[in-house]
Structure 1
Amino acid sequence: KYKRSPSEIFTCQLCGLSSPFTYYGQKPPNTRAIVLLEECFVTKDPFSPDKEKFLVLGSTCSMCSSCVCVGSDCSLFYTKRFCMQCVNKYLDQFPHQIQAELAKKRQSSKTAVS
């Protein structure tokens, strides 16, 4: 378990995004009735004076335990958090909707690059 220590840093093991986090878990402090669907690395929203506002930085992959950010190039949440490396490795075990969505995303990123 992670403690609420502002000196701790969350780092995505895929893209390298790095940020201090203030909480790890499912119930961020100073929030009324919010329970997250997974244990997340959370930080206070630096753009809001409201203490209840927070940003979810990332979580750990439920398969390989890598720390990954919530960016769509790094992870996918489908009942649990999966890093994109595990998603690609086990793509055939995900529902067809997810497979189709990822195929569409790959197509659009290929056309955007060319």
Structure 2
Amino acid sequence: MEPSEKTQHPSTFECELCGLTAPYSYYGQKPPNPYSVALLEKSYVMKDPFTPDKDKFLILGSHCSLCCKHVCVGTDCSLFYSKRFCLPCVKLHLKEFPLEIKQDLEKKTHSKSQSSKKPDSKDSKKS
């Protein structure tokens, strides 16, 4: 069941990939604010808790346009390329994406494997 675009009461968004949970106050493309911002996708939005400005908001996530999973906007979970895609779907359909997306994904995978191979700083200082 998809939430109403006019959701104003707090509900909880949960990323199905990383488990991030956060209360959202709005779902849709036009968050209620005086700036008339229109988002490119229906998104789960919360008021920004880091600022006293009540008109500022954070985008938590959306639905993958292929598998419909709830995914956060974190780069380890999804990407936006005209639509929101979860990374598992991107990997499954990689040949259908532009070369730049493939290169970015390879860089990210390479940097993760390099960071997991770095020696612990405590070990490197031993004499």
TM-score by length of 2: 0.86
Give the equivalent residue in structure 2 for 1:17. Answer: 20
1:96 maps to which residue?
A: 99
The ranges of structure 1 where at least 4 consecutive aligned residues each deviate by more than 6 angstroms after the TM superposition are none
Matched residues, number: 113
The Cα shift of 1:29 comes to 0.8
Corresponding residue number in structure 1 for 2:124: none
Distance 2:9 2:95 in 1: 39
Say which one has the larger Rg.
2
The equivalent of 1:4 in structure 2 is: 8
1:31 and 1:89 map into 2 onto residues whose CA distance is: 40
Which residues of structure 2 form unaligned runs of 5+? 118-127
Of 36, 60, 65, 1:62 maps to 65
Are residue 105 (structure 1) and residue 118 (structure 2) matched? no
Q: Rate the CA distance shift 1:110–1:80 in 2: closer, same or farther, 3 A.
A: same
1:15-52: CA deviation from partner (whole Å, max 9, x where unpaired)? 00001100000111124121111000000000111011
Asked whether 1:38 is paired with 2:46, we answer no
AA matched with 1:10:
F
